[in-house]
Amino acid sequence: MWRKNRRNNGDGTYGVDLNRNYGCQWGGGSGSEGSDDTGDDCYRGTHAFSEPETAALRDFVQALDHPRAMVAYHSYSQLFLRPWAYTLADPPGEMTLRYIAQDSIARIAAVHGRVYDETIWYLCYGETGDYFWDGMRLATFTPELRPNTWEEGNFDPDPNQIIPNNQENLPAAIALIKDAGCRKVWIKDHTNDNGVEPSAVWMGNHWSHAFWVSPDIWTVPAGQISGLTQNACDQ
């Protein structure tokens, strides 16, 4: 049931809550949001990145070649959380984060019928995902694993929950890994395009599908200007 690391705080207490020790909005809140009481389970440390664990992960991720996503598995409550943690306001890129979270929740539910919730019912300052999204736009998600309630086992569920937990979270993780590894931008080019590439094939005297003028793509400037290269802007 130990939550923190093993930092000797010098006053007879041990440990810093690493998920309150990152640099985004560090020092805000109180109690479970982030505490300055060394004996508290949510003690945030003396300053942002005061702990070797958080500093090491920060440095490791920043040294990677264009990282895209991160998943930080926690327990418990069957939640699938995304930035922001320190406020209920939407972050930049909320639509993308929400889409990935909802897609992941659907993939999890498809395995054993366990439905994870997006609702966050507490705030957290100095949180992992907030730091990496704020500073690097690294899409970071926090699944809070089974069980759903205290009565079902809380932080100490029955060992028979280990394999189902992994089975249902694996498809969501694989999908996120594949998306994060994709270095291409795919454009819908006809109304029935379902993502198969190439979606339209030349049949010798006609295309297999009529092309579609996408409302998501436009050119700047809108008209051709002699002597200038037209720039395509994807939005």
Which residues participate in catalysis according to the annotation? 144
Burial (CB count <10 Å: 0-12, 13-18, 19+), residue 106: middle
Enter the tokens of residue 23: 């640099």
- Pairing mode of beta strands 217-220, 231-234: antiparallel
Name beta bridge partners: 75: 145
DSSP H or E stretch at residue 171 = helix 162-181
How many residues would you count in the chain? 235
Residue 85 to residue 99: CA distance in whole angstroms: 17
Do 76 and 144 touch, CB atoms closer than 8 A?
yes
Q: How far is CA 83 from the centre of its chain?
A: 7
Closest CA to 45 of 64, 63, 21, 62: 21
